[in-house]
Amino acid sequence: MKATGVYHKHNYLKYQIFDEMINNHFPRYASPNEIAEMIGLEPEKVRDGLKRYLRYGYVGRRRGKCPIMHKTMWKYRVTMLGIETYIKLHGLYVQGRELNLRKRERGKVPQKIDSYTGLTRAGYERMISEGNDMDNISVDCAEIC
């Protein structure tokens, strides 16, 4: 299940970083280069994002040594506030919702991404009632809504 579309760069970057840190590194610490390599982004973007998230309390850090250059480097780990934020962003992402509309349109329900092709609850219930195999399902949201 993946939603495609244009995301607010900070919220989507936050979601990608937290997803990687929670699913692959938690509770260990990870360097920005390790996270950037897993996500497929430039290390500078990840490093800047982690510095910003540290300021707001989403991640914690500790000092370590780089095994190659023998320099001091920072390693980061998600805090409880970061995990709560990830859960909220993941809920919106799985539903196929834009991650930036809460800030832009306060008080309104977030809108769905038009190209969402994941399995929705109605599609899952329809699949179960028909008895189809779970591996061969691709439900378009426009058919259901």
Question: Do residues 75 and 92 both lie within one domain?
Answer: yes
- pLDDT (tens digit, 9 = 90+) per residue, 123-136? 666 767 776 554 44
Query: Please, which residues bridge with residue 61 across strands?
Result: 76
Backbone angles phi, psi at 97, to 5 degrees: -105, 150
Q: What is the pLDDT of residue 139?
A: 45
Q: Is 84 strand, coil or helix?
A: helix
Question: Do residues 93 and 134 both lie within one domain?
Answer: no
Q: Around Cβ 45, how many Cβ atoms within 10 Å?
A: 16
- pLDDT (tens digit, 9 = 90+) per residue, 71-97? 888 889 999 988 888 888 888 777 776
Question: Do residues 127 and 72 both lie within one domain?
Answer: no
Q: How many folded domains does the chain comprise?
A: 2
Question: Do residues 70 and 26 both lie within one domain?
Answer: yes
Question: Do residues 96 and 128 both lie within one domain?
Answer: no
Question: Do residues 84 and 29 both lie within one domain?
Answer: yes
- Residue 125: which domain range? 115-145
The answer to whether residue 4 sits within a structural domain is no
Q: What is the pLDDT of residue 28?
A: 83
Q: What is the CATH number of the domain that holds 86?
A: 1.10.10.10
The answer to whether residue 13 sits within a structural domain is yes
Question: Do residues 19 and 75 both lie within one domain?
Answer: yes
Q: Which residues contact 29 (CB under 8 A, 6 or more apart)?
A: 61, 62, 64, 75, 76, 77
Q: Which of 104, 107, 118 is nearest to 8 (CA)?
A: 104
User: What would the mean pLDDT of 3-30 be, rounded to a whole number?
Assistant: 72
Question: Do residues 141 and 75 both lie within one domain?
Answer: no
Question: Do residues 27 and 96 both lie within one domain?
Answer: yes
Question: Do residues 51 and 89 both lie within one domain?
Answer: yes
Question: Do residues 68 and 131 both lie within one domain?
Answer: no
Check pLDDT > 70 for residue 21. yes
Task: Dig out the tokens for 22 from the structure.
Answer: 């929670």
The answer to whether residue 55 sits within a structural domain is yes
What does pTM read for this prediction? Answer: 0.59
- pLDDT (tens digit, 9 = 90+) per residue, 31-65? 888 889 988 888 888 888 888 888 888 888 888 87
Question: Do residues 85 and 120 both lie within one domain?
Answer: no
